[in-house]
């Protein structure tokens, strides 16, 4: 039954591809989306702020929303490492002036936060608007999204505590983003003419059938600073090795 269904879908796909005007082949099925339906889905905000709705929100309002709906995952000051990586920290006034976060170049810096990495304030606004709160996304009002964004920016000393973020001044705030000059388009993901981050050559003879990429600590050092699993977040994508247990052979 399952194989038959897959075969039917494959035949249908071939039929659609072979039809010069495949829309006509399905005439009478479905309808064009209404402007209201398109508007409901078309909510992204671009780096040039196209798509940003009019509105505003203060840092003070953002703190109230944060403590009620955000702090349980991100910590009171955006420092939590229990569920997600920290949002604030690692940026300096010098970074705000230069537009590049110096700590990103340090191999010994313990954690890369959101404000260290994000280049555009529109990214913050857009992601909060679409995906937050994590357990109930798209429930924040426009004012709340502006306010929470303003609060995060204040955590990084990008805006003062009495600041009111709005669609009128957000472009000026962009000029103070700590990593605003850290984004590049000179790579193969942005354009096929870009230079890839890495280059490889295809193996043509005596190739290994399987390559395992991994990392490890030598046995003499694996628990020199205590149990590794206790030094990582208990949930989320980052895990630590439980060095209190005997190593499996």
Q: Is the dihedral of CA 2, 3, 5, 10 positive or negative?
A: positive
Give the separation between CA 130 and CA 124, rounded to whole angstroms: 10
Mean pLDDT score, 36-61:
93
Percent of the chain, pLDDT > 90? 48
Task: Kindly report which listed range (29-33, 111-115, 229-233) carries the lowest average pLDDT score.
Answer: 229-233
- Tell whether 23 and 74 lie within a shared domain: no
- Quick one: residue 161, left, alpha or beta (phi over 0 = left, psi -120 to 50 = alpha)? alpha
Q: What is the pLDDT of residue 233?
A: 64
pLDDT-derived band at 4, boundaries 50, 70, 90:
very low
Q: 101 in a domain, yes or no?
A: yes
Structure-model confidence comparison of residues 92 and 219, the more confident one: 92
- Tell whether 94 and 19 lie within a shared domain: no
Of 106, 81, 75, residue with least CA distance to 92: 106
Q: What is the pLDDT of residue 177?
A: 98
Q: What is the pLDDT of residue 68?
A: 96
First-to-last alpha carbon distance for the chain, in angstroms, is 44
CB-CB neighbours of 34 under 10 Å: 9
Q: 140 in a domain, yes or no?
A: yes
Give the separation between CA 182 and CA 75, rounded to whole angstroms: 26
- Tell whether 25 and 65 lie within a shared domain: no
Q: What is the pLDDT of residue 21?
A: 54
Number of separate domains in the chain: 2
Q: What is the pLDDT of residue 225?
A: 78
Give the separation between CA 139 and CA 66, rounded to whole angstroms: 13
pLDDT tens, 117-171? 999 999 999 999 999 998 899 999 999 999 999 999 999 999 999 999 999 999 9
- Tell whether 11 and 106 lie within a shared domain: no
Residue 23 lies in domain:
2-30
Q: What is the pLDDT of residue 205?
A: 79
Q: Are 113 and 129 in contact (CB under 8 A)?
A: no
- Tell whether 165 and 83 lie within a shared domain: yes
Q: 249 in a domain, yes or no?
A: no
pLDDT greater than 50 at residue 8 = no
pLDDT tens, 194-222? 677 677 777 777 877 776 766 666 777 77
Output 44-50 pairs: Cβ under 8 A, ≥24 positions apart: 44/126, 44/130, 45/122, 45/125, 45/126, 45/129, 46/122, 47/120, 47/122, 47/123, 48/122, 49/122, 49/167, 49/170, 49/171
Of 37, 53, 232, residue with least CA distance to 125: 53
Q: 21 in a domain, yes or no?
A: yes
Q: 144 in a domain, yes or no?
A: yes
Q: Are 111 and 81 in contact (CB under 8 A)?
A: yes
């Amino acid at each position: 039954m399952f194989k038959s269904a897959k075969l039917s879908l494959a035949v249908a796909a071939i039929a659609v591809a072979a039809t010069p005007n495949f829309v006509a082949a399905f005439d009478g099925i479905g309808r064009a989306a209404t402007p209201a339906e398109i508007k409901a889905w078309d909510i992204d905000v671009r780096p040039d702020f196209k798509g940003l709705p009019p509105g505003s929100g203060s840092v003070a309002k953002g703190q109230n929303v944060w403590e009620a709906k955000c702090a349980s995952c991100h910590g009171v000051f955006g420092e939590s490492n229990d569920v997600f990586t920290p949002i604030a920290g690692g940026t300096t006034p010098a970074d705000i002036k230069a537009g590049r976060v110096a700590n990103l170049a340090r191999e010994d810096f313990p954690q890369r936060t959101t404000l260290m990495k994000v280049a555009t304030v529109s990214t913050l606004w857009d992601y909060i608007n679409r995906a937050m709160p994590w357990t109930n996304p798209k429930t924040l009002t426009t004012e709340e999204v502006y306010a929470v964004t303003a609060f995060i920016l204040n955590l990084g000393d990008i805006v003062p505590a009495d600041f009111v973020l709005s669609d009128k001044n957000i472009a000026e705030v962009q000029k103070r983003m700590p990593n605003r000059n850290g984004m590049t388009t000179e790579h193969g993901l942005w354009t096929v003419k870009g230079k890839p981050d890495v280059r490889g050559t295809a193996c043509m003879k005596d190739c290994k059938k399987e390559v395992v990429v991994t990392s490890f600590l030598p046995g003499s050092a694996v628990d020199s600073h205590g149990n590794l699993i206790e030094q990582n977040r208990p949930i989320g994508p980052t895990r630590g090795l439980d060095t209190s247990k005997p190593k499996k052979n």
